[in-house]
Structure 1
Amino acid sequence: MTRRLRIGGVNVAVDGEPPANLLADAYARREHPLCLCCPEGVAMYIARFGARHILKRMPGTGLRHDVDCDSYEPPSGLSGLAAVEGEAIVENVEDGTTALKLGFSLSKIAGRAAPAANESREAGEARADGARLSLKATLHFLWDRAGFNRWRPAMAGRRNWAVLRKFLLDAAAVSTAKGRPLAHALYIPEMFDAKREDAIVRRRAELLSRAIQSAGNRRSLAILIGEVKEIAPSHIGARLVVKHAPRFPFMLAEDVERRMKKTFANELALWDANADSHLVAIATFGIGAAGVATVEAIALMTVSENWIPVETGYEAMLVERLTKHGAGFVKSLRYNLPAAQPMASLVLARADGGSTALYLVPADADAAFRERLAELIGESGMSAWVWDIANGPMPDLPF
């Protein structure tokens, strides 16, 4: 999508990121470029990270952008973001980085297994903890910052693993965790190419040699983000195979596999039921003395054909209906929010330039859920559309 900006007193139209020289010059002048998605314009800022300059939205200004603008952001209270922003996610406008407080470990003491209680918390299923990001919430953060919870018709056919990898790494590069760039601990497999396999394997080995190091009896861990190809039984647990790295399996001990299948039963069922869906895994892992990658903790996320996260079959149906209609929307992400806590499924951009929050009420929702939903709708100040699953088929959509 073409974006109109005012930089250095000149209006420019850009597709994607503005030219690096324009951003560098504006950064040197300490200028705040204007996004011209609306008549009065919205101030942006430029962050420098290493040799790169990145145009970023000013904190708290997401609602001031036009609903079709890349910088538009729905009210954080409609999703799980409100519970973690300012605590687990801390913005630094001075240098443009985002500091993350993680609720999972990036190291392991030799011989000590991860406690079973931590696995469910890392999955983001146990409670809404605003102080630290669960493993799945970290994936939601990167997915949000990379823009893959947003959809416009112009995006059709333009998303593949190479595109996802680029933008996820870009988001991680300007995010820090435990005092270092998140990208330093992150392994996202390159798009597989048999002709370049030797070079790909070499780059993976170099990355992991930096990410996974030992100091005494403590070993650092790396973070995997990959599309699941299969989860197959092994001699002592299970073998997780990700697409684009099919010859580099990740081993799951029996207890890790059991907790994964219990905690992420819905995600696995959705993936199994829809041939067009994708299953994305985020996991911490180490490399043992045998050179084998072993998963310590794992979380799963089901996404649509267009890589939009979905939690239920009803939500997948809604996303598919909107996509086929040519609608634009922003999908809400749960972060640490428990499933029993209502949130907007997504925010729809209407043809009249307005926006509507779309909510799904589970068939087994109790009176407390419905009461909290009514409060959320009232506090949002945004028009609402509600699909109460127990009442029958999907209502007409507010296009």
Structure 2
Amino acid sequence: MGKGTTFSAQITGLLQGGIFQPHEQLDYDSDWRKKLGDAYANKVEARVTCLCKGKPDDLTLRRLVVRYLKDSDRFSLSGWKHSGGQHRHDCRFYSVWPDDTSAGAYSSSVVRVNDDGTFSITLPVGLSRQTGTDKAASDVNPARHPRTGKSKPSMSLLGLGHFIWQQAEINTWKPQYVKNRQRNALWLASRINGMAQNIRISRLTLADVLLVSAVGEGAQKEANQQRVSYSKDNQKRMLAIALLKADAEQGYAEMQAGHLILSSPLGFPKLNVSPNVFRACERSFGNELSAWKAGHKVVAIVETEPPTRRYERINGRNVPITEAEVIGIALMRVTPRFIPVDSGYEAIIEARLCEEERSFIKPLRFDAEEDTLPDFVLTDVDGKESVPMEVFGMNTDEYRARRAVKTEGYNKEYGVGGWWSWDATRKDAEENIPAFPAQRD
């Protein structure tokens, strides 16, 4: 992608701001330098915004940070943390990854940004099945990578789920979302479908082999049926992304019996689960299964072999049954707003943030092994690019050691009072959640 293109930038919040064209954003341009200096000195009021996608209605989008480089006595711009995906793919501030930890999880070829802005992604088990030369799906668990300490040569199903959530900004929350469109299963299906148009796997557009929840005799059911037919006729593996069914007791019993039934699976084939795949899911996603049984929403990211059709004698008639063998199941616990969370403590904070009408991002780990990401990032604090938030929910020796390392790192980067934390292990912790940093007006 190279260094990317410089687009116009807008400075607001100053007595004299304005829009600066690319050719005006030069170190020796006195007006540009003065405006950047004023913005740097007035971080609370000033906003610098990249206009690579035009003027945004929401001035928190594509925000830029003004930095002063003392050694060279000049000002420079950089993108806000976790916002690289908001920019055009050819913009100099664009980034596939929200942070260095996520970027370091994979080899460089696992995710590629194409010239048209689409993504090419490598999965452990590809979607194109090639007879005789195809790697047996039974040789690998595509749902989650084992911890090896090395960059991964492919993206797991869980990593793909995180990638879609990040690129579609499902892991982002702002108060106005309540007024715009309620987040429900159909909203989620639409959001995932839209993102799948921009992802290529095994030279296939993901949307061509993707199953998502559908309601009634509508367009999505028909689309699911068409994708199943295409995959069956062309020997393509399929991906399904949907909530586990609400009745967890019945759903879990069905999984044990060899059948996976997702929420609103209209147009889906019958999903068969072998004992090996079920046990792998239990080993890798025990916490998510427990959350599901406790009544919480859990999203499944499922890969199957190409669908097949057989006939079953029912009531004296030969009835066609379309089915597919599941080769991997990744699970992701989410809140009612589909924000991923790793624990009940995180769910408490997510709910409190939404109640107080705060804007935040939930950073996602993908397949990274380092535990360096904050649990949440506030994006609406006056004069601050972001404020990391940590939920400390365990009290083991190993966890306390990691907590000490994180605390030292945050204090060094943000200052002792520049980040937020909650010790959820203390007595009456839920009644003593610290106040969140003040919100900008």
What's the TM-score bracket when you normalise by the shorter of the two chains?
0.7 to 0.9
Q: Secondary structure at the match of 2:182?
A: coil
1:377 corresponds to: 410
Contact 1:187 1:207 in 2 (8 A): yes
| Deviation of the 1:332 alpha carbon | 0.7
2:262 corresponds to: 242
Q: In structure 2, what is the Cα distance between the partners aligned to 1:184 and 1:206?
A: 9
1:264 matched to 2:285? yes
1:227 matched to 2:224? no
| Deviation of the 1:390 alpha carbon | 3.8
Residue identity matched to 2:277: V
Determine which of 205, 211, 218 is the counterpart of 2:225. Answer: 205
Q: In structure 2, what is the Cα distance between the partners aligned to 1:344 and 1:105?
A: 32
Q: In structure 1, what is the Cα distance between the partners aligned to 2:104 and 2:414?
A: 16
- Name the TM-score, length of structure 1 as normaliser: 0.72
**Alignment CA distance shift 1:80-1:125 (3 Å):** farther
| Deviation of the 1:176 alpha carbon | 1.8
Residue identity matched to 1:159: R
Task: Tell me whether 322-331 or 159-168 shows the greater mean CA deviation.
Answer: 159-168
Counting matched residue pairs gives 344
| Deviation of the 1:204 alpha carbon | 2.4
Residue identity matched to 1:398: P
Q: In structure 2, what is the Cα distance between the partners aligned to 1:369 and 1:351?
A: 27
**Alignment CA distance shift 1:362-1:210 (3 Å):** same
Q: In structure 2, what is the Cα distance between the partners aligned to 1:77 and 1:308?
A: 18
Determine which of 174, 191, 197 is the counterpart of 1:173. Answer: 197
Determine which of 110, 132, 137 is the counterpart of 1:88. Answer: 110
1:152 corresponds to: 174
1:104 corresponds to: 125
| Deviation of the 1:123 alpha carbon | 1.9
1:325 matched to 2:356? yes
| Deviation of the 1:78 alpha carbon | 7.4
1:184 matched to 2:173? no
2:50 corresponds to: 42
1:337 matched to 2:337? no
1:115 matched to 2:124? no
1:398 matched to 2:437? yes
1:282 corresponds to: 301
Contact 1:251 1:294 in 2 (8 A): yes
1:295 corresponds to: 326
Q: Secondary structure at the match of 1:295?
A: strand
Residue identity matched to 2:284: T
Q: In structure 2, what is the Cα distance between the partners aligned to 1:73 and 1:38?
A: 22
Q: CA RMSD in A?
A: 4.0
Contact 1:188 1:225 in 2 (8 A): yes
Q: Which runs of 5+ in 2 are unaligned?
A: 1-6, 11-44, 55-60, 66-76, 88-92, 311-321
Contact 2:308 2:324 in 1 (8 A): yes
Q: Which runs of 5+ in 1 are unaligned?
A: 1-6, 11-36, 47-55
**Alignment CA distance shift 1:178-1:38 (3 Å):** farther
Determine which of 300, 304, 308 is the counterpart of 2:339. Answer: 308
Contact 2:165 2:171 in 1 (8 A): yes
Contact 2:128 2:202 in 1 (8 A): no
Residue identity matched to 1:160: N
Contact 1:104 1:122 in 2 (8 A): no
Contact 2:175 2:354 in 1 (8 A): yes
Q: Deviations over 1:60-111 (max 9, x none)?
A: 98834998x966999833763553495532323x321222222333255699
| Deviation of the 1:243 alpha carbon | 1.6
Q: Secondary structure at the match of 2:207?
A: helix
Q: In structure 2, what is the Cα distance between the partners aligned to 1:158 and 1:85?
A: 37
Q: In structure 2, what is the Cα distance between the partners aligned to 1:66 and 1:107?
A: 33
Q: In structure 2, what is the Cα distance between the partners aligned to 1:264 and 1:62?
A: 37
Q: In structure 2, what is the Cα distance between the partners aligned to 1:323 and 1:279?
A: 19
**Alignment CA distance shift 1:342-1:104 (3 Å):** farther
Q: Secondary structure at the match of 2:161?
A: helix
| Deviation of the 1:59 alpha carbon | 12
Q: Secondary structure at the match of 1:256?
A: helix
Q: In structure 2, what is the Cα distance between the partners aligned to 1:9 and 1:388?
A: 41
| Deviation of the 1:167 alpha carbon | 2.0
Task: Tell me whether 69-78 or 154-163 shows the greater mean CA deviation.
Answer: 69-78
**Alignment CA distance shift 1:236-1:264 (3 Å):** closer
Q: Deviations over 1:344-377 (max 9, x none)?
A: 1110123425221112334136255235424653
Residue identity matched to 2:198: V
Highest relative contact order (Cα 8 Å, sep 6+), 1 or 2?
Answer: 1
Q: Secondary structure at the match of 2:349?
A: helix
Q: In structure 2, what is the Cα distance between the partners aligned to 1:172 and 1:62?
A: 29
Contact 1:252 1:295 in 2 (8 A): yes
Contact 2:254 2:260 in 1 (8 A): no
1:357 matched to 2:378? no
Q: In structure 1, what is the Cα distance between the partners aligned to 2:426 and 2:101?
A: 24
Contact 1:345 1:360 in 2 (8 A): yes
**Alignment CA distance shift 1:154-1:260 (3 Å):** same
